[in-house]
Structure 1
Amino acid sequence: MSRSDLRDELARLILHEGMDLTGEQVAEQAGLDLDRAERLWRSLGFADSGDVPAYGEHDVAAARLVAAAFDEGLLEERTIFRMTRALGQTLARLADWEVQTIVDQVEADVDAGRASSRLESAVAIAEHVAPGFDRLLLYAWRRHLAAAAGRLEALGAVDAELLSTTMSIGFADLSRFTAMTNTLSDVRLGELVENFETRCTDVVTSRDGRVIKALGDAVLFVNPDPREATLTALELVANIGSRDDLPDVRVGLATGSVISRLGDVFGPPVNLAARLSHVARSNRVLVDDATAADLTDEEFEMRTLPPRPLRGFGNVSPITVSRRRAFRPRTVRRW
């Protein structure tokens, strides 16, 4: 099979159809005006194709769903496009992540003689793995949607409370990362970043927190409980700072009211957590007064450091936190 045929086969296996419709034809068949259809493609992250055929029947079906949402009037137009933009941005990143992850498998298949080319290996993976991954994707989305709806309900019945909530924000930052990138190959750098993000995610989620985003050399996470957020930060130092294959880490924690929008969080605690991480020593955790107020002297050792200027906050006295060695957490009797 030629490379051109393999590329067509790969696209067909992923999309389950050919691409022989123009944007105007899709809009017409879906009952959606062209302006809204083009806005839909842009919201989902797809470039306008003009008169070039670049769509199929699945695109028509998707456009019909949006047209029906407009007709029903249950959702405002602004809400519909905000939701499609969230889908587009999230799934574009997921798709890139999947392809980059599969590269190692493709290379291994070629090296082991299981495939004669990268394209042939990719076609085989798409043919056998994609259907199962589709179901896993839908399962994970429903689980996360249920969890997000539960968090929203827990905020309370007052409308204003749905716009913001009080939580602890953590910012874990690798020390000397920039200098290290100059000494590593691209492959080694990618492995280091993935290792860091994976270990952070495991620690954060194990204490009922959430990773909001990863920035290469830093991870932003949230937890509704300041104590759990502090224990998360200390475990990140213990799990990452002690490893020879990762740089040291420093963590800043701040607690207060934040606004959640488009899967991200905004507000003074987010900025303060980042500032605290930048002034922390390697393998140390710094917290603000609000976080420290929810910690007990019985469990944690806290020491207030001299004031230092933090951009946007003036002079701040950070508090360094560690776990008391003699502390033994209460055990729950299980019958």
Structure 2
Amino acid sequence: MAPDPSEQGEQPDPATRQQRPGERLDEAILRSKPRFNALEVAAETGVTIEETRRLWRALGFPEFSGEKAYTAADIEAVSTLMSFVDAGAVDFDTAVNLTRGVGQTMARLADWEVSTLVTRVEEMAAGDEANSSRVHSALQLINEVNPPFERLVVYAWRRHLAAAVGRIEAMGAKDEDLHTIDVTVGFADLVSFTALSNTLDRDEIGDLVEVFESRCQDVVARYGGRIIKSLGDSVLFVTNTAEESVGVAEGIINVIGRDAKMPDVRLGLASGPVIQRLGDIFGPPVNMAARLTQVARRNRLIVDQNTADLLPTDEWEHRRLPARPVRGFGLVEPVAVRRR
């Protein structure tokens, strides 16, 4: 019997080693094999090893020491990024910040894509389109979906970039600080979501969150607003005007709170200047909107006084509610609003 190479401390020839299914998927997605370690990436790009590691961490990946974990595409990406740093367009810290934004955005998009398409992979593997396995079905779907999806990603980025630049002026950016804008902030929160989720299976929880987020997104987009972030059972959004935010709030109550298959929802609105950083917003209106949802009644909207003052009095009625303690703000008198 021939000796086992592993007993002699030898490794199988990489050329003859059979690929694991995951490796086949990696190569289909990355379109190249890992051939470089961090030192080699640094040498090829002229970037220091520490700068290489900072960029890699900013993308959201763990560091690899001496492993050949990087592809030719990784080298090209670093070179592309450093080209506009070297040209003086931005400094390296700004480039790292942009890289972090790309990493966080694409990580979520990738998870979203996989969770959306996994059902289709199962259907292909089990149905008439099946050839051998889920891996084969996944490879087939990757080849069919990813090329046009890449074009869609670039298109969507361009459209959102144009919209973001336009908001600098449209949402009242301060001349002295382009990070500060005047907006109305909305917070929508599902009632008793934690208790409800304990009674549902994983698929039901996933379906519930997907319906909540997608319906909120549709309503917010209809009024020209944007969702800043969603946390499963809650959504933070902003609009240019108080009237638009009230329209969003009423729409969310209609499509969520008045659907017998969905939990009830609470909404709070607050208006004022906020800081835009790292794709998020910060400031007292954000905190106030979130706090107001904690004291709102089910399927009801309450607003702060700033928001009430921005609504035309000939179209809206205001009613002050009893003062109540709001964490971080002391005693607050929320305002209920309704159309005349």
State whether structure 2 residue 52 is matched by structure 1 residue 37: yes
3-state SS of the aligned residue for 1:320? strand
> Which of 244, 256, 259 is the aligned partner of 2:260?
244
Name the stretch that deviates more: 260-269 or 234-243: 234-243
Q: Which residue of 1 aligns with 2:33?
A: 18
> Using the alignment, how far apart are the partners of 1:65 and 1:296 within structure 2?
51
> Using the alignment, how far apart are the partners of 1:256 and 1:154 within structure 2?
15
CA radius of gyration, larger in:
2
Q: Which residue of 1 aligns with 2:121?
A: 106
3-state SS of the aligned residue for 1:162? coil
Is the CA contact 1:175–1:250 (under 8 Å) kept in the aligned structure 2?
Answer: yes
Is the CA contact 1:237–1:283 (under 8 Å) kept in the aligned structure 2?
Answer: yes
Q: Which residue of 1 aligns with 2:314?
A: 298
3-state SS of the aligned residue for 1:161? coil
State whether structure 2 residue 152 is matched by structure 1 residue 141: no
Compared with structure 1, are the counterparts of its residues 157 and 280 closer, same or farther at alpha carbon in structure 2 (3 Å cutoff)?
A: closer
Q: Which residue of 2 aligns with 1:273?
A: 289
> Using the alignment, how far apart are the partners of 2:333 and 2:173 within structure 1?
36
The alpha carbon displacement at 1:176 in A equals 1.3
Is the CA contact 2:323–2:332 (under 8 Å) kept in the aligned structure 1?
Answer: yes
Q: Which residue of 2 aligns with 1:28?
A: 43
The alpha carbon displacement at 1:83 in A equals 0.6
Instruction: Spell out the pairing of 1:75-114 with structure 2 (5 A cutoff).
Output: 75-114=90-129
> Using the alignment, how far apart are the partners of 2:339 and 2:294 within structure 1?
21
CA RMSD of aligned residues (A): 1.7
State whether structure 2 residue 22 is matched by structure 1 residue 7: yes
Compared with structure 1, are the counterparts of its residues 168 and 157 closer, same or farther at alpha carbon in structure 2 (3 Å cutoff)?
A: closer
User: 1:206 corresponds to which letter in structure 2?
Assistant: R
Name the stretch that deviates more: 100-109 or 267-276: 100-109
Q: Which residue of 2 aligns with 1:194?
A: 210
The alpha carbon displacement at 1:192 in A equals 0.1
Normalised TM-score (structure 1): 0.92
Is the CA contact 1:241–1:249 (under 8 Å) kept in the aligned structure 2?
Answer: yes
> Using the alignment, how far apart are the partners of 1:8 and 1:82 within structure 2?
31
Is the CA contact 1:285–1:322 (under 8 Å) kept in the aligned structure 2?
Answer: no
Instruction: Spell out the pairing of 1:187-266 with structure 2 (5 A cutoff).
Output: 187-266=203-282
The alpha carbon displacement at 1:316 in A equals 0.7
Is the CA contact 2:269–2:303 (under 8 Å) kept in the aligned structure 1?
Answer: yes
Is the CA contact 1:214–1:220 (under 8 Å) kept in the aligned structure 2?
Answer: yes
Instruction: Spell out the pairing of 1:45-64 with structure 2 (5 A cutoff).
Output: 45-64=60-79
Compared with structure 1, are the counterparts of its residues 149 and 73 closer, same or farther at alpha carbon in structure 2 (3 Å cutoff)?
A: same
Is the CA contact 2:173–2:182 (under 8 Å) kept in the aligned structure 1?
Answer: no
Q: Which residue of 1 aligns with 2:327?
A: 311
> Which of 62, 68, 80 is the aligned partner of 1:65?
80
State whether structure 2 residue 340 is matched by structure 1 residue 321: no
Name the stretch that deviates more: 192-201 or 158-167: 158-167
Q: Which residue of 1 aligns with 2:13?
A: none
Normalised TM-score (structure 2): 0.91
Gaps of 5+ in 2: 1-16
Count of matched residue pairs: 323
Gaps of 5+ in 1: 325-335
The alpha carbon displacement at 1:321 in A equals 2.0
CA offsets, 1:1-46, max 9 Å, x none? x994543332222111111111111111112111111111011112
The alpha carbon displacement at 1:139 in A equals 0.3
User: 1:244 corresponds to which letter in structure 2?
Assistant: A
Is the CA contact 1:155–1:162 (under 8 Å) kept in the aligned structure 2?
Answer: no
State whether structure 2 residue 193 is matched by structure 1 residue 177: yes
Is the CA contact 2:173–2:181 (under 8 Å) kept in the aligned structure 1?
Answer: no
CA offsets, 1:140-169, max 9 Å, x none? 001001111111244678642312111000
The alpha carbon displacement at 1:244 in A equals 1.8
Identity %: 47
User: 2:309 corresponds to which letter in structure 1?
Assistant: A
User: 2:29 corresponds to which letter in structure 1?
Assistant: I
The alpha carbon displacement at 1:125 in A equals 0.7
> Using the alignment, how far apart are the partners of 2:188 and 2:332 within structure 1?
19
> Using the alignment, how far apart are the partners of 2:266 and 2:208 within structure 1?
16
User: 2:94 corresponds to which letter in structure 1?
Assistant: T
